[in-house]
Amino acid sequence: MSDDNKIIEVKNLSKQFKELKAVNDLSINVYTGDVFGFLGPNGAGKSTTIRMLLTLISPTKGEIKIFGKSLRESRIEILRKIGAIVEKPDFYGFLSAYKNLEILAKLSGIESPNIRIMEVLELVGLDKRFKSKVKTFSHGMKQRLGIAQALLHDPELIILDEPTTGLDPQGMKEIRDLIIHLSKDQRKTIFLSSHILYEVEMVADRMIIINKGSTQVEGNVEELLNRNDLKVSFEVDDTHKVLQLLQETSWIKKLNSKTKNQVIFSLKNTEIAQLNKYLVDNKISVSAVVPTRSLEEYFLQITEKSL
């Protein structure tokens, strides 16, 4: 992709908090129209990075360019074209949803925001509660109001920091659908932070995985998820019998490990069905076939380590 298409260009970004290096030499490129997944376990430095992108905190080192302009030099011009949710959405609880959005619309330079406010409230399903004070809202409702305020001024770039946190499965699906709608129908560029690989996989085109403030993996989501063999677990009644059967075949080279009821192979996508057929044809009872992608396993490992 050409440099002209870059919406976010982060170079060698670092943030030091006293003893803690929250972000370490991080570089990110996000292109126009991307749904960019920003993945990492809790404490990986995602929110710190997002806060730097939104000028909430200043970097210790490095450079941020958004829409081709230096964030330090063109802060206001850049923020005019960004909508964001940073961590949990907090509002003025003593004010109504409408009044909160009215304040934020005025701060964004919208002179007559009434129609737009009701549009975004309707989009997130809060139009019937526009008069209610925000302190009466559930977490999920505040999360949806957070999305409404991010969309209020029709930004080109939307930064969403863990937007589905605290939502029920239906709410999570609605947010995913909304992200797809904003990307495909409204041509917005979306920077989506999450600690759930599945969530990013469902909507993102490109992604980066960070841990301890540094880049671990970066690239196209589909390619990253399928670039290596899958680890496929076959649940069988007799693992000893399986090993005996495969001893003289080429499948044995693909054996990864075994437990009491499972044999795990490193296979290409197309080989799963072939091996399954071979086992069944040879009277092995296969009760389940569970594929695990290497990236998924890797992400699980770093997530577990961070806990």
Partner 1 sequence: MIFSLISIELSKIFRKWRTYIGFLAIAILVPIIQIAMLVEGEKSINFMTRNLQQSFIFVGNLLNGYLISYAILNALVVHIPFLITLVAGDLLAGEATAGTYRILVTRPVSRFKIVFSKFLGGFIYTNLLVLFLAVMSLGIGLLVFGVGELIVIKNVNILILSRTDVFWRFILAYGFATLSMTVVLALAFLFSSLVENAIGPIVSTMAIIIVFVIISALDIEFFQSIRPYLFTNYMQSWRSLFDDPIDIQDIIKSALVLISHVIFFFGATVFIFNKKDILS
Residues at the site binding partner 1, with contacts judged by CB under 8 A: 51, 54-58, 75-77, 79-80, 82, 84, 86-95, 99, 103-104, 106-109, 149
Quote the least distance from Cβ 132 to partner 1, whole Å: 15
- Smaller CB separation from partner 1, 16 or 216: 16
Min dist. Cβ of residue 88 to partner 1 (A):
7
Shortest Å distance, C-beta 267 to partner 1: 46
Tell me whether residue 107 or residue 243 sits nearer to partner 1 (CB atom).
107
Is the Cβ of residue 25 or residue 87 nearer to partner 1 in the bound state?
A: 87
By C-beta, is 131 or 240 nearer to partner 1?
Answer: 131
In the bound state with partner 1, the residue whose beta carbon lies nearer, of 192 and 242, is 192
Amino acid code (one letter) for 112: S
Q: How far is the CB of 232 from partner 1 (least distance, A)?
A: 44
Least distance in angstroms from the C-beta of 146 to partner 1: 8
